[in-house]
Structure 1
Amino acid sequence: MSDSGSLDDERDRIRERKKRELQRRLENGGELGADDGAATPSEPIAIEGQAHLDDVVDEHDVVLVDCYADWCGPCQMLEPTIEALAEETDAAVAKVDVDRHQRLAQQLGAQGVPTLVLYADGQPVERTVGAQSKGQLRGLIEQYS
């Protein structure tokens, strides 16, 4: 029960933070200024190559990159968690199909799938291999948000 309560408290804090950000944007004429960065997408971004990944990492303060494969069971189990994190956190979530983008996956250090790489301020700061719990990933994101 205490875990559920703390999750609810965390969701409320996130919602309040997002409300404040939206209010600030509305007060500034409803548009994102150059200093505000890009709005964080609420769905995972399908990465189409190195340049696309570079753009996403440059546009957002915190980016969680999921290196996955369609045939990977743990990747499939992780999918709902990845989608929830995209919707519920301030991090942008990006997905790299290791079969389509082998060189990029190699550059990200993905020797197994799923591999998750967390970027903060344009730099890789954490790397995990294997399915992780939503709580573990949320904790990593919040550490750098």
Structure 2
Amino acid sequence: MSESDRIDDIREQKRRELLETETGEETDASTGVGVPDEPIHVDGASEFDRLTADHDVVFVDFYADWCGPCKQLEPTVEQLAAETDAAVLKVDIDANQQIAARHGVRSVPTMVLFADGEPAEQVVGVRGADRLGDLIRQYT
């Protein structure tokens, strides 16, 4: 490795560290985009598409405000956002029916794990944080 390459690597590492310090977010090494430590509430298809493209691993919780099991799952989703290297999105199926239909969501809660912008896994129903965290870690 040349001196110039080594300096570039150090600069990139420092840039990531500064971004983490300023935003409180981890940085995805391959994209340079911060990984939020809280769920992101998606508002529309273009935002959904951008977020699934910007992050290597994205865990999406399709939910409805009227859904009891969705409310039960909410603390787990927040925990996953805080403890994993995946970006965690929340999609209200009533407000975003087209996104839900595009991903075959027929009941809630449904969670879809995206890896490299493509759906990789789908889970329907309430699951524990350990099981969902293990699923996410398979892709990070």
> Are 1:37 and 1:60, in contact at CA under 8 Å, matched by a contact in 2?
no
Task: Pick one of 18, 25, 32 that aligns with 2:13.
Answer: 25
Gaps of 5+ in 2: 1-11, 20-26
- How far is the alpha carbon of 1:29 from its aligned partner? 7.7
- State yes or no: 1:62 paired with 2:50: no
Query: For residues 137 and 50 of structure 1, do their structure 2 counterparts lie closer, same or farther at Cα, with a shift above 3 Å needed?
Result: same
Query: For residues 118 and 35 of structure 1, do their structure 2 counterparts lie closer, same or farther at Cα, with a shift above 3 Å needed?
Result: closer
Gaps of 5+ in 1: 1-23
- State yes or no: 1:110 paired with 2:105: yes
* Identical residues among aligned pairs (%): 48
The letter for the 1-side match of 2:92 is D
Any idea what the Cα deviations from partners look like across 1:24-79, whole Å, max 9, x if unmatched? 73267835799543110011011111111111011111000000001111100000
- Quote the Cα distance in structure 1 between the aligned partners of 2:64 and 2:111: 12
- TM-score of the two chains, using structure 1 as the length reference: 0.77
- State yes or no: 1:101 paired with 2:135: no
- Quote the Cα distance in structure 2 between the aligned partners of 1:108 and 1:90: 22
- State yes or no: 1:135 paired with 2:130: yes
- Quote the Cα distance in structure 2 between the aligned partners of 1:35 and 1:55: 16
Matched residue SS, 2:111:
strand
The letter for the 1-side match of 2:112 is V
> Are 2:70 and 2:108, in contact at CA under 8 Å, matched by a contact in 1?
yes
Query: For residues 39 and 130 of structure 1, do their structure 2 counterparts lie closer, same or farther at Cα, with a shift above 3 Å needed?
Result: same
Partner of residue 43, structure 1: 38
- State yes or no: 1:89 paired with 2:84: yes
Aligned Cα root-mean-square deviation (Å): 2.1
Matched residue SS, 1:96:
strand
Matched residue SS, 2:58:
strand
The letter for the 2-side match of 1:143 is Q
